[in-house]
């Protein structure tokens, strides 16, 4: 059976007309002879609103009940989508995470998919019904509702595609593909017809939110072709290729920098006049790790006489207050002079498989930023990315300048 999964993000189901439009795309694919499973997000803004309700009761909420609330946005759209499909004369039914069941671990808010019991939905799809699954949500073994993290409907869609052995997973969103960088910030960004799993994984994990990182991980593990498409185009995925996320090929591997990602989700902490002796890094990062705070970029600067050093690192922005509290509590044990922090920072990352074999990539980045008078606070490199931390106010300027410097601008 030729089956495709069609996922519609928040903007694609943002109001009733858009839900009807999405239902039209499903009908088109069915006309072309495909069986279809649909995965929907909450209507745009709804998840934020639900999170706001929980916070308004208490900023220190129970994560299980938080999931019970925030998962409801997708339940509404799944039902509405099924109704819109009925209006087109199609047989359709909605499936919530617990109904399938889409089993996850119990990490509320960031749950990982463990298994999808897809027999029932598969049987009904084979009989001609469109299965509409609520994205973003799952259920634990003991029956508690979970959510998969922001943007998690992408992962729901890829997981369902894998479970149903679909031909491909089409992700309908508000841009018509994956671009060399966020097209909303850099108008000259170029659409990529294809991007390798590896590069997409890197772009997504460094901030390109067009696909959730875990959805790319899963697609890569199971070799599921994923296509990113515009919900506003007239054509459907079977006739209009957006960006295909797939195996890398020789041509793709030749470009040094394929894309630039950025994220505002990190905050910077600097500990000044830290005593420079063995064990000090362990005393800084041990308590943070025990508090469940992930440290990302780290840089240590030495001093002239070698007795004190400064150390700068980044933590997820939502954890900044907790992190500074942990460090303040440990101040005597760690032994530092002062602590300064900022949440007004942006991490900008160049991504490209070709970086493995090319020298001088980082130098161009530093020169470009220097030319614009942008100070680099932290630098981090890996085999296929180079990242810098800068003040947030320069995000647009830096992205546009780097995009040109690496020859990525559209003609």
Q: 349 to each of 151, 319, 378, 381, how far by Cα in Å?
A: 20, 22, 12, 9
Find the distance separating the first CA and the last CA of the chain, reported in whole Å.
42
288: helix, strand or coil: helix
Least CB distance to ligand ADP at residue 322 (A):
26
Task: Kindly report the number of other CB atoms within 10 A of residue 39's CB atom.
Answer: 31
Site for ligand ASP in 152-191 (CB under 6 A): 152-154
Site for ligand ASP in 35-94 (CB under 6 A): 41-42, 47, 73
Sheet of 194-196: strands edge to edge? 92-95, 130-134, 35-40, 3-8, 168-173, 226-230, 243-246, 194-196
Q: Is residue 174 within the footprint of ligand ADP (CB under 6 A)?
A: yes
Which listed residue (98, 179, 313, 336) binds ligand ADP by CB under 6 A? Answer: 179
Contact partner, 105, from ligand ADP, ligand ASP, Mg ion, none, Cβ < 5-8 Å per class = none
Contact partner, 135, from ligand ASP, Mg ion, ligand ADP, none, Cβ < 5-8 Å per class = ligand ASP
Please identify, among the stretches 75-83, 118-126, 207-215, 313-321, the one whose residues bind ligand ADP according to the rule CB under 6 A: 207-215
Which listed residue (209, 273, 283, 317) binds ligand ADP by CB under 6 A? Answer: 209
Which listed residue (4, 5, 6, 9) binds ligand ADP by CB under 6 A? Answer: 9
Side-chain-facing half-sphere of 243: CA atoms under 13 Å: 20
Contact partner, 47, from ligand ADP, ligand ASP, Mg ion, none, Cβ < 5-8 Å per class = ligand ASP
Q: How far apart are the C-alpha atoms of 317 and 130, rounded to whole Å?
A: 40
Query: Which residues are CB-contacts of 83 (< 8 A; sequence separation ≥ 6)?
Result: none
Q: Are 58 and 98 in contact (CB under 8 A)?
A: no
Biggest distance spanned by C-alpha atoms of the chain: 79
Site for ligand ASP in 112-141 (CB under 6 A): 135-136
Q: Are 398 and 369 in contact (CB under 8 A)?
A: yes
Least CB distance to ligand ADP at residue 330 (A):
37
Our CB check for ligand ASP shows the closer of 11 and 341 to be: 11
Our CB check for ligand ADP shows the closer of 106 and 264 to be: 264
Q: Are 346 and 392 in contact (CB under 8 A)?
A: yes
Least CB distance to ligand ASP at residue 247 (A):
25
**Binding positions for ligand ADP, rule: CB under 6 A:** 9-12, 41, 151, 173-175, 178-179, 181-184, 208-210, 259
**Binding positions for ligand ASP, rule: CB under 6 A:** 9-10, 41-42, 47, 73, 135-136, 150-154
């Amino acid at each position: 059976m030729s089956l495709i999964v069609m996922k519609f993000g928040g903007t694609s189901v943002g109001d009733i007309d858009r839900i009807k439009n999405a239902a039209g795309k499903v009908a088109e694919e069915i006309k072309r002879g495909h069986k279809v499973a649909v995965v929907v997000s909450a209507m745009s803004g709804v998840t934020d609103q639900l999170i706001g309700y929980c916070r308004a009761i208490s900023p220190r909420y129970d994560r299980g009940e938080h999931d019970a609330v925030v998962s409801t946005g997708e339940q509404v759209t799944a039902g509405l989508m099924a109704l819109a499909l009925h209006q087109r004369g199609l047989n359709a039914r909605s499936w919530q995470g617990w109904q399938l069941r889409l089993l996850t671990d119990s990490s509320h808010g960031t749950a990982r998919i463990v298994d999808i019991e897809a027999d029932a939905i598969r049987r009904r799809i084979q009989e001609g019904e469109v299965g509409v699954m609520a994205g973003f949500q799952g259920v634990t073994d003991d029956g508690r509702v979970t959510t998969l993290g922001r943007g998690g409907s992408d992962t729901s869609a890829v997981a369902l595609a894998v479970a149903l052995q679909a031909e491909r997973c089409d992700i309908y969103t508000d841009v018509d593909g994956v671009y060399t960088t966020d097209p909303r910030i850099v108008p000259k960004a170029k659409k990529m017809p294809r991007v390798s799993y590896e590069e997409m994984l890197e772009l997504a994990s460094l901030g390109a939110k067009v696909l959730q990182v875990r959805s790319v991980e899963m697609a890569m593990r199971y070799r599921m072709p994923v296509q990113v498409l515009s919900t506003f185009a007239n054509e459907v995925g079977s006739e209009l290729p957006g960006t295909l996320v797939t195996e890398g090929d020789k041509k793709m591997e030749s470009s040094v920098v394929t894309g630039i990602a950025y994220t505002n989700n990190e905050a910077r902490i600097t500990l000044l006049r830290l005593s420079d002796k063995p064990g000090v890094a362990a005393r800084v990062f041990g308590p943070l790790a025990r508090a469940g705070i992930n440290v990302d970029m780290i840089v240590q600067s030495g001093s002239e006489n070698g007795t004190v050093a400064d150390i700068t690192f980044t933590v997820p922005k939502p954890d900044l207050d907790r992190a500074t509290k942990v460090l303040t509590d440990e101040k005597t044990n760690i032994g530092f002079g002062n602590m300064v922090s900022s949440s007004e920072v942006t991490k900008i990352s160049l991504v490209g498989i070709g970086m493995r074999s090319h020298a001088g990539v980082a130098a161009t980045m530093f020169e470009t930023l220097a030319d614009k008078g942008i100070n680099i606070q932290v630098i981090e490199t890996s085999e296929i990315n180079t990242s810098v931390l800068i003040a947030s106010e320069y995000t647009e300027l830096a992205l546009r300048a780097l995009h040109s410097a690496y020859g990525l601008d559209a003609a």
